[in-house]
Structure 1
Amino acid sequence: MRGSGIRARQACRFLRARWRVLVRLGAWSVLEAGQTFVVGYALARALDAGFLAGNARTGLLWLGAAGLAVCAGAYGTGRVYVVVAALVEPARDRLVTAVVARGVREADAGALSGLTQQVEIARDTLAGVVMVTRSFLFTAAGALIGLCSLAPLLLTVVLPPLLAGVALFAATLRPLAHRQEAFLTADEALAQELGEVLPGLRDITASGAEKRAADAVGRRTDAELRAARTLAHWSAARVAALAVGGELPAVLLLLTAPWLLAHDVTPGALVGALAYVTQSLLPALNNLIHGLGTSGSRLTVVLNRLLVQPPEGRDQPRQTGTRRTTAVPPSSCAHDALSVTSVTFAYGPTSDPVLKDLDLTLPAGAHLAVVGPSGIGKSTLTSLITGLLTPQQGTIHVYDRPVPAPQATVLIPQEAYVHTGTLAENLTLFRNDPLPEPELLAAADAVGLTPLLTRLGGPDAPVDPAELSAGERQLIALTRAYLSPAPLALLDEATCHLDPEAEARAERAFAARPGGTLIVVAHRISSARRAHRILVMDGARTTCGTHDELLRASALYRDLTGRWTPRPAPLSR
């Protein structure tokens, strides 16, 4: 309401400053609407004083006058467009100025969209609103004056339903604008959700988060569907308004024709009244309802976005600075990095549990390797720790916080995601603060990315994911995770495309991260040997210990160790 009042006062000041333009617009509109009065009146006189009276010459003269009025109205319409442009273009310039000022003052990321799209929508819809509103007012005035000049009794038939239709339409304008804005908001939310999900489909699939992603998109889709249905229901009121205000008067004229003729309304006057209703009032009301109902709602929504400041905390540009965002308080090093308590998980109500009553505690700074046969649930465990899946029973805490704790965990799946852009943009994807180049180069050297970084041409070099090998994409994803502020890193076979030396270097870098904790889903025995402790997954049974302990206590681990051999996959390109 407050925003509407501010815009109304701004509009009044804008129009007062351009009163000469409004006078010109009114003058040309009178000429344009003059044909409305003349056509109906001339038709009535052509019948009553001409053809029905046996005087064809008089009838033809009146019809000729109607034709001249149509030509004059067409000329007036052409001049109206010129005047409307003189009114609309300054409004567009003021919107451009406001958008640019806000974009510069607040570093508004939406300023470009406002300039290239929303301002143009506002200009076009404003012109449409001015045209249809002005046309209806002057056309209705000309038709009503004509009806009164033919026979005042005709107004008692035409005017009440016309006013009722206009009032019904006016009552739907505000709800329609709200529903239109709600629909656009829901549509933007769905587009944003899809924009986040679609580029990361490989990561979602690799992490087993398909259901969670589908549920999120489904909620956005359902919200847009509800908004669209509500908008459609309110839009149906426009059809009722048009039927009452534009079509009902013609029906009433026909139904009351005997009564009107009995009360001194001439046949010509009755035909002229039908012409006023069907050829002038009905088209003008139709244009008003569909033009103002659609364009007016769009104009309201766009002006809200261009002129009303977003509430605090909503749609504000992200603040930048030199302080690094930390996911865990400094004192968190005294707490366990991971606490899994009696966790049970199955992929369906009738499925056997992948994990059953699992208990696992990992101190901060630890290095854990997870091993087991393919399909046993290793990736499921990483998805549970990161909150991509929810256990049916039990609890999981990361640094004393229940999952999901996205700022505390970073997951690197087997199929690494690299997006088009610069190398630096890929590496700083998880950072909220500016990253000094020396820190980036040090991370690249620690993980083993430096040869690729040099070959590409430095941090600002463009990256085409299609031109990178699987190993090179994994190195980029690993360095990105290394630079993440999240203290708990989970490598879900994230080094499977690297050779053993490159894998060892990357894992040592993560294990040595200050304050960092590492969980590795291992695919080589050498990776498991580097860990402080090893978790052997064997269905519902799990065993945890050092390499030597597990050789004595776990038959599965002895079997894996005997069959596990290094599997070089040289980093190509």
Structure 2
Amino acid sequence: MRREVRFAVSSLRRGPLLRLVGWSLPEALPAAASGFVVARAVDAGFLAGEPVTGLAWLGGLVLMSVVGAAGTRMVFRWLGELAEPFRDDLVQRVVGGALAQAVAGRADDGALARLTRQVEIVRDTYGGLLMACRGFVVTVVGVVVGLLSVAPVVALLVMPPFLLGLVAFVAMLGLAAQRQREAVLADERLAAATGSVLAGARDITASGTEEHAAGMVAGPIAEQARAERRLAGVAALRTLCFALGGWLPLVVVLLAGGWLVDRGLTAGTIMGGLTYVLFGLQPALQNLVSGVGGSGLRFVVTLGRLLDASSMPTPPAPARRPTTGHDVELRGVTFAYGPHAEPVLRDLDLTVPAGQHLAVVGPSGIGKSTLVGILSGLLRPDRGAVSIGGVDPAELPADQLAELRVLIPQEAYVFAGSVRENLTYLMRREPAAGELDAAVAAVGAELLVARLGGYAGAVRPAELSAGERQLVALVRSYLAPAPVAVLDEATCHLDPVAERRAEEAFAARGGTLIVIAHRISSAMRAERVLVMDGTGAQVGDHATLAATSALYRELVGHWQPTALPAAP
């Protein structure tokens, strides 16, 4: 718990925190003055036979409440200045941790839940805890000042039991956090056990193994019940702490009433002291106990899980390795999605010499995108070897792999920013004079760039069509330094003329081009074609495959080409 508290405290920004405290002072004015006003209203007003004077004093308290409401309004404004940067920091940690794990080759399945749910829980409880702690401190200080101004002897009677209850509550927070964490973990284990049983409910019923299935969840149920009972015990201790710090001071003042009168205290003064207890100390302690003891525990547990996930040790990145050219080779590659699944690729051999233009064709779902994942180093084959420049791409550090190959997927990614930023972020250097213009013209994106306002224009992803996003991604990849370009149906949202222009631009760019064909015309433009049929693969040029591959002839027959104008 100490780690989480230190992290939360270190995240406080000094400027907004000082403004928050400053605006808390007028908010605390009614609580600080309530006892004094009641004492004056009783002694100088109602008991003195001057009800108008008493009402005037109470009217002053109403005016102070208006001032306090204005303070509360500003408090919530500056609360956002503290809570939102805290949330942003957590989001960066979650995303950074997930990306680090992905780059290291370890998928982080819980990152989405942490980002969409746990971060919001922590942000909300963080704001609630700030309000509870701030309100407690400001109110207690105001009450102490008010008690000392009304009757210091009452302060001496009230504060010791109040502080005793506060200290007892703080002392039990560690135990409460432990019990809360145990309850969360028990709930997760129960959910996992019941989920596995419910998933096989039909088989359980068919085989008559209900008793065995019930036994599988009996242990987690009993464990969760124990955790909940322990958590309920902590709640009872929390109530006892509040009774000690909130109600015992009231009892002490009432029991000492006669002694206080003998010492010359008036009825109004005693009522003022009771007012401070009932409307100052009690609500402040109640808010602290319920806030810190309830949402505060969820805050500590959830924040702890976020910090654990973001600080997971990341395996060291692989070292840079020397490569020889950029030939792409697969030898005996077999890949299946799971140990009992049918292989998507089986004993595939393929060589793409540096500078060659290869098209990959086959029915939908036959494994073309899986092949792209293996070629690009995103997937590891179950058997066989894959290499770019003589090195397995999955064993290269991310920066070196990016220098060797660029992958353009079907769903092109663009981000909010300028056109220049979207086009050049893979270049790692400033483009030379005319380099951007040449790339845009080669791929055929001149009209799009002009419509967006030139290179300084703003890109709003939601306002671009799928084809326009593909054009942006194609120019970006054309400018990338990688000698191997892989287009995974990266032109499927373009018309045939635009697709032809883009593919011819990449072929003329130099380097190796591998195209997952969306139209058979892509295969007819390639030097070699790889035909995938689910059981094997055949490689050749268009004429050879048209003569020897029935599947290739069928694919050609499904797409009747018409004469296309030459790309400008």
TM superposition score normalised by structure 1: 0.54
- Map of 2:165 onto structure 1: 165
The partner residue of 2:344 within 351, 354, 360 is 354
**Residue of structure 2 equivalent to 1:244:** 241
The letter for the 1-side match of 2:139 is S
Paired residues for 1:367-516 under 5 Å: 367-389=357-379, 391-394=381-384, 396-399=386-389, 400-403=391-394, 405=398, 407=402, 408-414=404-410, 416=412, 423-436=419-432, 438-450=434-446, 453=449, 458-461=454-457, 473-496=469-492, 498=494, 502-514=498-510, 516=511
The answer on whether the counterparts of 1:32 and 1:76 sit within 8 Å (CA) in structure 2 is no
User: 1:462 and 1:59 mapped to 2: Cα distance?
Assistant: 74
SS at match of 1:411: strand
Deviations 1:296-323 (A, max 9, x none): 99xxxxxxxxxxxxxxxxxxxxxxxxxx
Alignment partners' CA distance in 1, 2:140 and 2:243: 12
Moved more, 451-460 or 359-368: 451-460
Aligned to 1:482, the other structure's residue is in SS state: helix
Please state how far the C-alpha of 1:165 moved relative to its aligned partner: 3.3
Deviation of 1:569 after TM superposition, in Å, equals 8.4
Distance 1:7 1:555 in 2: 66
Aligned to 1:201: none
Deviations 1:384-411 (A, max 9, x none): 3335555445554444253385624333
State percent identity of aligned pairs: 42
Output the CA distance in 2 between the equivalents of 1:551 and 1:557.
6
Instruction: Find the aligned partners of 1:496 and 1:82 in 2 and give their Cα distance.
Output: 59
Q: Give the direction of change, closer, same or farther, for the CA distance of 1:438–1:533 in structure 2 (3 Å limit).
A: same
Instruction: Say how many residue pairs are matched.
Output: 425
For residue 430 of structure 1, what is the amino acid of its counterpart? L
Asked if 1:536 corresponds to 2:526, the answer is no
Give unmatched runs, 5+ long, in structure 2: 86-125, 177-229, 298-318
Give, in whole Å, the separation in 2 of the partners of 1:85 and 1:456: 42
Alignment map for 1:304-343 (pairs within 5 Å): 332=323, 334-343=324-333
DSSP-derived class of the 2:281 partner = helix
Alignment of 1:66-85 (within 5 A): 70=58
Pairing 1:519–2:514 present: yes
User: Structure 1's 250 and 69: CA in aligned 2 closer, same or farther, altered over 3 A?
Assistant: farther
- Which residue in 1 is equivalent to 2:102? none
Map 1:135-284 → 2, pairs under 5 A: 135-143=139-147, 149=153, 155=157, 158-167=158-167, 244-245=241-242, 248-250=245-247, 260=255, 272=271, 275-284=275-284
Change (3 A) 1:568 1:174: farther
Structure 1's 3 and 556: CA in aligned 2 closer, same or farther, altered over 3 A?
Answer: closer
CA drift of 1:518 comes to 1.1
1:73 and 1:539 map into 2 onto residues whose CA distance is 83
- The answer as to whether partners of 1:173 and 1:293 remain within 8 angstroms in 2 is yes
Supply the distance in 2 between the matched residues of 1:476 and 1:361 (Cα, whole angstroms): 30
Question: Match of 1:36?
Answer: 35
Contact 1:409 1:486 survives alignment (8 Å):
yes
Conserved? CA contact 1:40–1:275, under 8 Å? no
What is the CA deviation profile of residues 6-25 of structure 1, one whole-angstrom value per residue up to 9, with x for unaligned ones?
999x99xx99xxxxx9xxx8
Aligned residues of 1:410 and 1:481 also touching (Cα < 8 A): yes
For 1:390 and 1:430, how far apart are their aligned partners in 2? Answer: 24
C-alpha distance after superposition, 1:364-399 (max 9, x if no partner): 333221122232111222233335555445554444
For the Cα contact (< 8 Å) 2:46–2:54, is it kept in 1?
A: no
For residues 516-565 of structure 1, what are the alpha-carbon distances to aligned partners after superposition, in whole Å with 9 as ceiling and x for unaligned? 32111124554324434322212131223444554565443455456654
Q: 1:171 to 1:361 in 2, by over 3 A?
A: farther
| Structure 2 residue aligned with 1:208 | none
3-state SS of paired residue (1:357): strand
Q: For residue 142 of structure 1, report the CA deviation from its aligned partner.
A: 3.7
Separation in 2 of the partners of 1:535 and 1:174?
A: 64
With over 3 angstroms needed to count, the CA separation of the structure-2 counterparts of 1:475 and 1:173, relative to structure 1, is same
C-alpha contact (below 8 Å) 1:471/1:571 kept by paired residues? no
What RMSD over aligned residues (CA atoms) do the two structures have, in Å?
Answer: 6.2
CA distance, structure 2, for counterparts of residue 84 and residue 500 of structure 1: 63
Aligned partners of 1:563, 1:31: CA distance in 2, in Å? 82
Measure the CA separation in 2 of the matches of 1:500 and 1:485.
27
CA change 1:330–1:498 in 2 (3 A) is farther
State the secondary structure of the residue aligned to 2:434: helix
> How far apart, CA to CA, are the structure 2 residues paired with 1:374 and 1:7?
51
Paired with 1:129 and 1:262, the residues of 2 have a C-alpha distance of 32
d(CA) in 2 for partners of 1:415, 1:29: 56
Give the distance between the partners of 2:458 and 2:549, measured in 1 at CA: 49
Q: In structure 1, what is the equivalent of residue 101 of structure 2?
A: none
Asked if the contact 1:420–1:462 (Cα under 8 Å) also holds between the matched residues in 2, the reply is yes
TM-score by length of 2: 0.54
Give the alignment partner of residue 133 of structure 1, picking from 134, 137, 143.
137
Between the aligned partners of 2:492 and 2:257, the Cα distance in structure 1 is 97
Partner of 1:110: none
Q: Distance in 2 between matches of 1:529 and 1:451?
A: 27
How far apart in 1 are the matches of 2:459 and 2:33? 66
The residue correspondences of 1:100-139 to structure 2 (distance < 5 A) are 133-139=137-143
Q: 2 CA distance for matches of 1:498 and 1:291?
A: 56
The question of whether the paired residues in 2 share the 8 Å contact of 1:139 and 1:281 is answered with yes
Cα gap change, 1:522 to 1:249, in 2 (>3 Å): closer
Secondary structure of the residue aligned to 1:566 is coil
Cα offset for 1:489? 1.4
Q: Which moved more, 1:439-448 or 1:352-361?
A: 352-361
How far apart are residue 32 of structure 1 and its match? 7.6
Native 8 Å contact 2:40 2:57 kept in 1:
no
The 8 Å contact of residues 139 and 284 in structure 1, kept in 2 or not, is answered as no
| Gap change, CA 1:4 and 1:490, over 3 Å in 2 | closer
Structure 1's 558 and 466: CA in aligned 2 closer, same or farther, altered over 3 A? same
Answer yes or no: is the 8 Å Cα contact 2:519–2:559 preserved in 1.
yes
- 1:345 counterpart residue number: 335
**Is the alpha carbon distance of 1:499 and 1:278 closer, same or farther for their aligned partners in structure 2, counting shifts above 3 Å?**
closer
| Distance in 2 separating the partners of 1:466 and 1:284 | 48
**Counterpart contact for 1:511–1:518, Cα < 8 Å:** yes
